[in-house]
Amino acid sequence: MSLLRVLVFAVPIAIGIWTSNQPEYRRFGVLLVAAGFVWSLTTLSESNDEVLYSIGRITAWLSEVVLAFLVLAFPSGRLTTAVESWIVGLWVTLALTLYVPSALIVERYPEPSPWASCGLDCPPNAFMVLDQQPAFVEGPIFQFRELAALGLFLAVAGVLAWRVRRASPLMLRTLTPVLAVAILRCVSVAPYVAIRRVSEEAPSLEVVGWMIVLCFPAMAVAFFVGLIRRRVFVGSALQQLATRLRGHPHADELRTILADTLSDPSLEVVYWVPGQPSRWVDAGGRTVRLPPSDPSRWATEISHTDGRVAALVHDAALSGQRSFVEAAGSFALAALQNERLAAQVVTSMADLQESRARIQAVADNERQRIERDLHDGAQQRLVALRVRLELAGELMRDNPERGSALLRELGGDVDQALEEVRSLASGIYPPLLADRGLAQALGAVALRAPLPTAVETEGIGRYAADIESAVYFCCLEALQNAAKHARGASRVSISLLDDGALHFAIRDDGSGFRLESVTPGAGLTNMRDRLAAVSGELTISSAPGEGTSVEGSIQQAELRG
């Protein structure tokens, strides 16, 4: 019998130590070890010493509260619903009002007891403070608290049964052994109380009493069996998942495989696509939003060493099985990577087509502008110049002096025509940019800018023509935007920096604006397209009262020798 008493606390402590070494269940394992030490004090009920015996009997009352808490907190080690918290709170209230205080007013504890083998000849209560036990204690109080304790443990079993009924296959395997022992605990307490009231010397009383006592280590074994069944199920499920993933399934097949593995037909797979702005997309490249955490849907992100890769959007019932969901997602990581890259390619192709269409439209508009400027400006001036040259030729025959004067006047017209041609050419590709590079070309732009503009450079040299052109025209567009839209601006600064990558920034001290309140225009879109064509990125930051900053970078802008 002594060995059985030792098992009451030794088994929970041993299983608790094993469980605490499992990262996912460390909290519950620590609680189980603590419960084992609490239950070890119940063995003091076997002592003939009044104080030790009384401590053992009081600890037996508290053990019921600890057992109820462990059952409801399994396997996470936390109470997850308001109902569970209420039940534990009622247990604590019952113990602190009708059980523990009674130790101060009773001569003897209820006998016989499952926790003591002294039968009807146990030591008296060492903590009684009254001279005589009140008559009302042994009747209504004892009956009410025994019925209340039984009702509360039935509530614990009911909550556990409800969890089992709505559990996923994984949680079902985990909770079923615990529910079985909880039911055994309920069906053993009621007969024990009834038999003791009928006959305190009934032979069956000891058998039922040992059932009650051994339910404590049996519950610890049920915890252990549940966790082992959980690990076996997870291992088997992941093995099947790995086998089914060998065929490199496409997006729909991958979703079906993961849904089968996690037993969630509603499961969805979405992929992380970094960019401007970053977003989640489905396998078709369509932008999606992750659901907020709510009672029905949950999102578990799958990450790799280089950051997030995908997310599984699943039933909220799987939220308590995060490690299993993450393990399944990690097992499918290679397939997810392939699908993510495919989704990214689809999105990139759509962006590329849009960008090409915009570039073509800009090119057509620019060609039409050049044709219009040639027709209305330089062409008209050259036509007029030709007419006047013919007139000068006729005058040279009839009036050489007047003809010579007209030819001298034509020199100014020729200079004006040349200036118009140069101005037109500089709008296409500035000669100074081609000859001297970014620093001097932007310096010349700053001198002609409507707002006072300063140019700062560090480490800037010569780059490929497409890179210099992209940066130059982005800066030009930003300066024009500052002149048009930066209300209250008094100055603009242009900074160029090469620290292994080419960076540029145009900042003004205007009134600024809220980015979300402004729709990007054609100028901003053209800037993004220009930089994207040379593998660059563009960001804009602004806030009311803080001015506006347009910043860009090109990571692989190699200096030209």
Binned at pLDDT 50, 70 and 90, residue 484 comes out as confident
Between 422 and 289, whose confidence is greater? 289
Question: What's the whole-number mean pLDDT along residues 317-322?
Answer: 62
Task: For residues 477 and 494, state if they share a domain.
Answer: yes
Task: For residues 264 and 126, state if they share a domain.
Answer: no
* DSSP state letter for 534: T
**Residue 230 located in a structural domain:** yes
**Residue 242 located in a structural domain:** no
**Residue 205 located in a structural domain:** yes
* Final residue of a structural domain among 343, 364, 394: 343
CATH code at position 463: 3.30.565.10
Task: For residues 258 and 311, state if they share a domain.
Answer: yes
* pTM tops 0.85, yes or no: no
**Residue 246 located in a structural domain:** no
Tokens coding 180: 């079985």
**Residue 559 located in a structural domain:** no
Q: Nearest-5° angle of CA 401, CA 406, CA 409?
A: 135
**Residue 21 located in a structural domain:** yes
Task: For residues 74 and 188, state if they share a domain.
Answer: yes
Task: For residues 93 and 173, state if they share a domain.
Answer: yes
What domain range is 34 assigned to? 2-236
**Residue 561 located in a structural domain:** no
Task: For residues 371 and 449, state if they share a domain.
Answer: no
| Residue with the two structure tokens 């242009």 | 494
**Residue 244 located in a structural domain:** no
How far is the C-alpha of 481 from the C-alpha of 496, rounded, in Å?
A: 19
Number of domains in the chain: 4
* Final residue of a structural domain among 394, 428, 462: 428
CATH code at position 390: 1.20.5
Lowest mean pLDDT among 227-241, 413-427, 484-498, 544-558: 413-427
Task: For residues 321 and 403, state if they share a domain.
Answer: no
Binned at pLDDT 50, 70 and 90, residue 376 comes out as very low
Task: For residues 262 and 148, state if they share a domain.
Answer: no
Q: For residue range 114-155, what is the model confidence (pLDDT) as tens digits?
A: 888 887 788 998 999 888 888 777 777 778 888 888 888 889
CA-nearest of 185, 187, 165 to 176 is: 165
Strand partners of residue 505: 495, 551
Task: For residues 480 and 391, state if they share a domain.
Answer: no
Task: For residues 217 and 337, state if they share a domain.
Answer: no
Task: For residues 305 and 186, state if they share a domain.
Answer: no
Question: In whole angstroms, how far apart are CA 222 and each of 11, 233, 278?
Answer: 11, 16, 47
Q: How many CB atoms lie within 10 A of CB 53?
A: 23
Tokens coding 80: 């997850």
CATH code at position 47: 1.20.1070
DSSP 414-463: HHHHHHHHHHHHHHHS-HHHHHH-HHHHHHHHHHH-SS-EEEEEES----
* Final residue of a structural domain among 280, 311, 343: 343
Task: For residues 90 and 225, state if they share a domain.
Answer: yes
What string of H, E and C letters represents the secondary structure of 119-140?
Answer: CCCCCCCCCCCCCCCCCCHHHH
Q: Say which amino acid occupies 302.
A: I
Q: For residue range 34-93, what is the model confidence (pLDDT) as tens digits?
A: 999 998 998 998 888 999 999 999 998 899 899 999 999 988 888 888 999 999 999 999
